[in-house]
Amino acid sequence: MRVKRKPFVPPQPIIKKRGIKGEVKIDLNPSLQTVNIIYHCGRRIIDDFSNLREYAVEFLNTLEAPTFLAIYVVRRKGLETRLSIRMEGREYVVSAAEEWVTKWARRVYRKQKPIAICGESNLMLEFENIQSDNADFTVMPKPKKTESAIFTPFYYRDNREAKGVVALGGRFFSDIEPGVGRMFWSMKAGLVFAAHISYQLIHRFDAITGLKKLADWHADMKRIIEKGRRNGRQSWFLLLDLDHFKKINDMYGHEVGNIVLEKAAEILKNNIREGDDVYRMGGEEFGIILHNINRKNAQEVAERIRKALEESCIEVVMEDVKAVQEIHITASIGGAKIECKGAVAEECIEITYKTADANLYRAKRGGRNRVVF
């Protein structure tokens, strides 16, 4: 005997109205498919991203009509922009977040309640318990000088205190049913995206520099070794350490030290080839994998990085004395060919790292601010 299954009917949320007159119609069923698509697109985005921006752009490309993405993280002095990109023409460009975006991100962080703004219906929804299946929300008129967007906090570990806010702009509601229902389910999709951002930002990428961390370096090294065994091509590993970084922390404080690390990471990314990878190995130590390259060209890349760091000038605003401090940095770099002839990958990784570390030590003993292969 076949039992006919009843169609799934989403639980109806409790709706509060603020500044809205008349009936608000809810129809949640058609949006489930859209949420499911966005969710699984997000699940596929897990490998081979060298920084948070690449991950974010790849995710935006799975959506219909995104206009901007801003990610804010909690710092000692409040919310700070970690990444802000906007669609211009057919490309995403890094740009400062608009004032209204930052304003509403701060409100969402303060109240710890996600919101969805829909320009087409001139409504805004504020959610009470979005993680549950029957989240309640308040409907109110769309604020002035805003665009269609989703703002949601993201959490870490204890899930009690938000660690940041994701602001995602775009016309996410135009191809689903009209009314509040589509905003509700798009909000659920926005939370899925926030969960991915939370994982990538806190677990996978270094929170200060946006670079991949030691665990990713280890996994990438395994893949390179296996590939090198098959095709016989050389790849090189650079181990870089900022010279006298402890003095910067001692003299100006760890907050300034973090700014220096962030700027140094930016310089490294700007001076490698497309396809190469940069990692924060720990403290002031960075690792760089140069793919499919010979010794001479690897030395040229290392020297270019060393020179770019030496010629850089990092300006830091010292709020206590109301002055701008110029900080100059240098780095010592040790290079090693990625060994592929060991019995197991772990052995090859150990040999490669020890060789690069020994060369880095030689660079330090030789007077710092130099490259040793």
Tens-digit pLDDT profile for residues 239-275 = 999 999 999 988 888 888 888 998 999 899 999 988 8
Residue 146 pLDDT class (50, 70, 90 cuts): confident
Q: Distance (Å, rounded) from C-alpha 334 to C-alpha 336?
A: 7
Q: Tell the CATH superfamily of the 214-372 domain.
A: Reverse transcriptase/Diguanylate cyclase domain (3.30.70.270)
Query: Is residue 64 over pLDDT 70?
Result: no
The CATH number corresponding to 15-204 among 3.30.70.330, 3.20.20.100, 3.40.50.11440, 3.30.450.40 equals 3.30.450.40
Tokens for 230, please give them: 């098959």
What share of the chain has pLDDT > 70, as a percent? 66
Q: Do you know the residue count of the chain?
A: 373
pTM of this prediction?
A: 0.58
Both ends of the chain: CA-CA distance in Å?
75
Average pLDDT, the chain: 76
331-371 residue pLDDT tens: 999 999 998 876 688 889 999 999 999 999 999 999 999 99
Q: Tell me which range, 54-58, 216-220, 338-342, is most confidently predicted by mean pLDDT.
A: 216-220
pLDDT at residue 247, as a whole number: 92
pLDDT at residue 280, as a whole number: 92
Task: Please tell me the least confidently modeled range out of 53-62, 96-105, 171-180.
Answer: 171-180
Question: Domain ranges in the chain?
Answer: 15-204, 214-372
Tokens for 243, please give them: 């010279």
Q: Distance (Å, rounded) from C-alpha 212 to C-alpha 252?
A: 26
Query: Is residue 288 over pLDDT 70?
Result: yes
Q: Distance (Å, rounded) from C-alpha 54 to C-alpha 60?
A: 10
pLDDT at residue 187, as a whole number: 54
pLDDT at residue 344, as a whole number: 85
pLDDT at residue 303, as a whole number: 97
Tokens for 49, please give them: 């991203």
Q: What average pLDDT does this structure show over 284-310?
A: 96
Residue 186 pLDDT class (50, 70, 90 cuts): low
Tokens for 38, please give them: 């966005």
Tokens for 262, please give them: 């962030």
Residue 51 pLDDT class (50, 70, 90 cuts): low
Query: Is residue 184 over pLDDT 60?
Result: no
Residue 48 pLDDT class (50, 70, 90 cuts): very low
237-246 residue pLDDT tens: 999 999 999 9
pLDDT at residue 328, as a whole number: 93
Query: Is residue 62 over pLDDT 70?
Result: no
